[in-house]
């Protein structure tokens, strides 16, 4: 059955999205140019999340929108632990946990003997059976980081009550599906941003066609022309 959300809720979500966009723009986190993404595809826009996450006040304000929903005794029933993936998710998980008043943990990428990469909760982090877990992350592109955490939480017996991200640039994912159980979990974002991506080459990528220098975010700088 379809649930129609009250107008006030829709208005509030719009205000939160506008504020999130404002924070990203003011911080310079939304850059324009010619970028190579982790997927190998190119884009004319890039979100450098750490220009926001370096600012405790901005990060705290954004996380407060989540905390208001998941504090105990509200309609979501509260949360026992907040978890995020390395690296940006570490900051967000701990700030969300601080504001809600629970534990904050993170999951790391681990390579198994067969070469398979998965995420684990290490360093003494534990999720007890039945604990209510909120998963958080920064920028959603494919949902891979969140999906990789689901089996670790499920295997521990945790109950995933929601998945939250700052920015959704996936094209509108509303759920993430566990590769372990095929169970779907609700996903929501503070701000949804449409960012077209292109296959490299002048036939498909506007930046390559214009001969713009290709920037690889996170590297030492430009990586030559597309």
SS (H, E, C) 32-83: EEEEECCCCCEEEEEECCHHHHCCHHHHHHHHHHHHHHHCCCCCCCCCCEEE
* pLDDT for residue 3: 38
- Tokens coding 45: 């826009």
Distance CA 197, CA 31 (A): 14
Mean pLDDT of 117-125: 93
Average pLDDT, rounded, for the chain: 89
Show the beta-strand stretches assigned E in the chain.
30-36, 42-47, 81-85, 103-111, 117-120, 132-140, 159-168, 175-177, 184-192, 197-198, 213-215, 222-225
Q: Is the pLDDT of residue 92 over 90?
A: yes
* pLDDT for residue 107: 95
* pLDDT for residue 39: 81
Residues of the chain with CATH 3.40.50.2020: 76-195
Q: Is the pLDDT of residue 4 over 60?
A: no
Report yes or no: 215 and 221 within 8 Å, Cβ to Cβ. Answer: yes
pTM: 0.85
The count of other CB atoms within 10 Å of the CB of residue 176 is 23
Report yes or no: 127 and 156 within 8 Å, Cβ to Cβ. Answer: yes
| CATH number for the domain formed by residue range(s) 76-195 | 3.40.50.2020
């Amino acid at each position: 059955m379809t649930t129609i959300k009250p107008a006030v809720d829709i208005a509030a979500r719009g205000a939160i999205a506008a504020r999130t966009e404002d924070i990203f723009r003011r911080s310079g986190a939304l850059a324009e140019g010619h970028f190579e993404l982790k997927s190998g595809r190119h884009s004319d826009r890039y979100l450098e999340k750490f220009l926001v996450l370096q600012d405790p006040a901005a990060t705290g304000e954004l996380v407060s929108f989540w905390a208001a929903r998941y504090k105990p005794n509200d309609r979501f029933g509260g949360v026992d632990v907040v978890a995020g993936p390395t690296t940006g998710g570490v900051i967000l998980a701990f700030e969300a946990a601080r504001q809600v008043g629970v534990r904050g943990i993170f999951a790391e990428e681990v390579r198994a003997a067969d070469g398979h990469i998965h995420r684990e909760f290490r360093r003494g982090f534990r999720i007890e059976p039945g604990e209510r877990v909120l998963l958080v992350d920064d920028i959603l592109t494919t949902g891979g980081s969140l999906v990789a955490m689901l089996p670790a939480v499920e295997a521990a017996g945790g109950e995933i009550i929601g998945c939250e991200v700052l920015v959704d640039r996936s094209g509108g994912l509303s759920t993430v599906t566990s590769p372990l159980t095929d169970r779907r979990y609700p996903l929501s974002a503070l701000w949804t941003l449409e960012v077209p991506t292109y296959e490299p080459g002048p036939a498909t990528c506007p930046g390559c066609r214009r001969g713009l220098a290709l920037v690889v975010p996170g590297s030492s700088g430009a990586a030559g022309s597309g």
